[in-house]
Chains A and B, each alone.
Chain A
Amino acid sequence: MIDLLNALVVLSNYVLIPALAYGSQLALGALGVTLIYGILRFSNFAHGDTMAFGAMVTILVTWLFQGWGISLGPLPTALLAIPFGIAATAVLLLTTDRLVYRFYRQQKAAPVILVIVSMGVMFVMNGLVRFIIGPNDQRFSDGERFIISAREFKKLTGLSEGLAFKTTQGITIVTAVIVVAILFWFLNRTRTGKSMRAFSDNEDLALLSGINPDRVVMVTWLIVAGLAATAGALYGLDKSFKPFIYLQLLLPIFAAAVVGGLGNPLGAIAGGFVIAFSEVLITYPLKKVLGYLLPDGFEPDTLVQLLSTDYKFAVSFTILIIVLLFRPTGLFKGKSV
């Protein structure tokens, strides 16, 4: 019995909780990608760097607040700075749309052209972020590090295995739940939200119904700015901030959006968790868990790590390919790629 509990604690500590936090970050990122795909009808490769930009502004404002001595006590100061990150990202995205995307929209450019355009935007944004904050690692978390630390947990339960629950993980999960709840309320209950879904569903009929496409596009960018800046800041807070990491995040984010079904917000969330749990589970050495679960003498000699963490992106790739081969519209009904 104790062995079973210990196994569960080890699994929670190294797999379930980290995957839950990582999945929340991916879900927020994938929601942004999927909204753009559904409404503006292209795959936005600049989304990773949009997240980096939002995170960067959040960091700069956090430092400013820390300099002024403003803090949230046990919670990270960054939470106060996220709204500023969102506002700056909104300005960046609306400016980009005005200067770049709008031109191609008026030309009625094919989606593939917009994808290439978004790659250009990606490089510019990436350069901008590195130019402002530099290419290095930045730490900006403060406040209480743990909601519950491994040592406290052991003392509390008397188990030999500890369970650590980081503040940033807790904040990530709670924030993601709140953001998703607000987003779904907006999309399903408000007039503007419904008009966005209608526009995504059938653009011609939306125009015939008098829905203003410019307004839909603007609201979409604003929401995407909120999602991207929040996701970027939470990821940076939970792991660490490095501009290039966000470029690499693009793969699992797109995998999540495609797995869930592009254009389907519910799918993006499910996809985020599918990708996160597979990635963490497959790259985690299961030796200790199995050691507790299997009878004495059967303990595995090897680490039982299916894949080295260096190859974790292979997991996203593999899932992406399997889904595209067997279910191109994703787990939930999305648009086919």
Chain B
Amino acid sequence: MTEPFLIGDAMTGGYGRGADILHDCTIAVNPGEIAVIVGPNGAGKSTAMKAVFGMLNIHKGSVRLDGEEITHLSPQDRVAKGMAFVPQTSNIFTSLTVEENLEMGAFLRRDDIRVTMEQIYDLFPILRDKRKQAAGELSGGQRQQVAVGRALMTQPKVLMLDEPTAGVSPIVMDELFDRIIEVARKGISILMVEQNARQALQIADRGYVLVQGANRFTDTGAALLADPDVRKSFLGG
């Protein structure tokens, strides 16, 4: 098997000097693929993703991007390497306008960002209409679009989303998932954590079911949805 584009390989670790939260946990994703991490509350879903992004201490295992060892890089350095992260909360600059949010996403870039900005406005047309408005005045779903848009401004190779549909209505959730599929079709790897396991697995190329910080089931999204054990334990039958 060839090495995946991004892999958090057998990660064990936790926050600061605290107890280990992840135990030998492996998460991987390939270009153009959507990988989804699901699991019960407190399973370490977000923690696993933060570990891949360098926000906690891994003392065993490693993270590799395109074959390059990045285990000890800071999150900022990983952004420069082409990884983008959308946190679950506080993921926009509320007092800045939508357009300024996008500009700040592209802060590291020195080239012309207008083309990328146009692409994002094409992806999320509502943001074009609201580009002069403060991002904090937008609805929950629109804020998530700003957050994803900000992350895409760096032209990342990997987009990591921590519960992008938390707190938005089912209609907005479907809409967001459609947009995420669209982003993946452009060849960007998507790694996301989701509460809405059933819907998320429907769009997932790869699904990871975590329990207590360890991999319980790993398969394609469709296979996990069909697996009676997964259905019974995590999808409510």
Contacts and interface: CB of A to CB of B under 8 A. Distances in A.
Given A194-B103, A195-B104, A202-B90, A208 B76 contact: yes
Contacts of A204: 87, 90
B234 to A, nearest CB: 30
Contacts of B87: 204-205, 208
B105 A201 contact: no
A95 interface: no
A148 B80 CA distance: 60
Given A194-B104, A195-B104, A209 B96 contact: no
Contacts, number: 58
A101 to B, nearest CB: 22
A198 B95 CA distance: 8
Contacts of B107: 191, 195, 209-211
A249 B227 CA distance: 71
B94 A201 contact: yes
A210 to B, nearest CB: 4
B150 interface: yes
A194 B80 contact: no
Contacts of A198: 93, 96, 100, 104
B73 interface: no
Contacts of B108: 209-210
A209 B79 contact: yes
Interface in A317-337: 333
A206 interface: yes
A210 B76 contact: yes
A209 B104 contact: yes
Contacts of A206: 93, 104
Contact of B79 (A191, A194, A202, A208): A208
A242 interface: no
B85 interface: yes
A132 interface: no
Contacts of A207: 75-76
Q: Which of A197, A206, A208, A210 neighbours the largest number of chain B CB atoms within 10 Å of its CB?
A: A208
A151 B101 CA distance: 56
Contacts of A202: 90, 92-94
Interface in B202-216: none
B218 interface: no
Q: Which of A191, A204, A210, A333 neighbours the largest number of chain B CB atoms within 10 Å of its CB?
A: A210
A197 B104 CA distance: 10
B61 to A, nearest CB: 23
B93 A201 contact: yes
Interface in A162-215: 191, 194-195, 197-198, 200-202, 204-211
Rank and list the top 3 A-B pairs by shortest CB-CB distance, nearest first. A210-B108, A201-B93, A198-B104
10 contacts: A191-B107, A194-B103, A197-B93, A198-B93, A201-B95, A202-B92, A205-B90, A206-B93, A208-B85, A210-B79
Given A194-B103, A197-B95, A198-B93, 10 more contacts: A191-B107, A195-B107, A197-B93, A201-B95, A204-B90, A205-B150, A208-B76, A208-B85, A209-B108, A210-B76
